[in-house]
Amino acid sequence: MNIDFELLAKKMIGQTVPKPSSGTLSGHAAGEPFDKLVYKFLKEQLPQNTFRQYEFLNELFLANPQVQNYNERVKLIGTPTISYLLSRGKEPTNKWKPDKLFEEKQNDTADIVVSDKDFIHIIDVKTRNMSKNAQAPNIISASKLAGACSVMLDNNDFDSFDINYIQVDWILEDKNLVCTNITKADLFKSNPEKLYINWASAMQIQFHVNELNQNYNGDKKNWAKEYLYHFTQEATKRSKYMINEYVIPYEKYTKSVV
């Protein structure tokens, strides 16, 4: 089940969405309608297989009414790593009912899920205002990704999914935002040791999709190990940085307190 990204790019480039009436043109909100357009065009390509993440879970649970508790519902979702990445919390999953469907949630891992019997493409859409030199966006929690890597390694679960990021470039033209380009990057084809973790910003991995290297040659098993090595090294560095930056400079003031 391959996604034709070239076809998607052809459809997207030149598309316009209205400029938001309020708020700034920086940040997520301005380009968000483009995410819905990407979804629409992928759905046209693969109508039976393309879902928003919450839709994917709703359809799965609706199709399996006999499965009613958390552990079994989570198993429905897919392999252990897919379940780890796409499931909702224990309580919401237990409480899910056909008349109380999941709704879209901002911190879902995926914007879009393209699902085949044996393979799931997890897709996240990022939008980028090309007239501004903005900070790289939040991609995924570094600790959530560490958890996913450990689940992959514990279960030898390397061939059931990939994680792709699609960047929609846009510029402002009069009252519209116009899509000028589309780029795509495969997380597991990027060098895990180069991923930037912003610890102060909810431990998010941050990059511009079009700037992500795609030269990694190892397999997913090596990727997971190397990412965990990188993550633990960076966490150790950050832990030391906190002492040097936030404790030692203030010790002279605090001695008299205790």
Residues engaged in binding a copy of itself (CB under 8 A): 20-23, 29, 143, 146, 149-150, 153, 199-203, 224-226, 228-229, 231-232, 235-236, 238-240, 242-243, 245-247, 249-251, 253-254, 256-258
Nearest distance in Å: CB 207, a copy of itself: 19
Candidates 242, 235, 167; CA nearest to 203 is 235
- What is the distance between the alpha carbons of residues 131 and 240, in angstroms, rounded to a whole number? 37
3-state SS of 86-110 is HCCCHHHHHHCECCECCCCCCCCCC
Burial zone of 95 (CB within 10 Å; 0-12 exposed, 13-18 middle, 19+ buried): exposed
**Which CB, 28 or 40, lies closer to a copy of itself?**
28
**Which CB, 70 or 199, lies closer to a copy of itself?**
199
Nearest distance in Å: CB 232, a copy of itself: 5
| CB 149, CB 188: distance < 8 Å | no
**Which CB, 78 or 192, lies closer to a copy of itself?**
192
- What is the distance between the alpha carbons of residues 180 and 168, in angstroms, rounded to a whole number? 8
Nearest distance in Å: CB 235, a copy of itself: 4
**Which CB, 3 or 111, lies closer to a copy of itself?**
111
Nearest distance in Å: CB 17, a copy of itself: 12
| CB 72, CB 163: distance < 8 Å | no
Nearest distance in Å: CB 157, a copy of itself: 14
In degrees rounded to 5, what are phi and psi of residue 78?
A: 155, -155
How many other CB atoms are found less than 10 A from the CB of residue 106?
A: 5
Amino acid at 58: N
**Which CB, 45 or 222, lies closer to a copy of itself?**
222
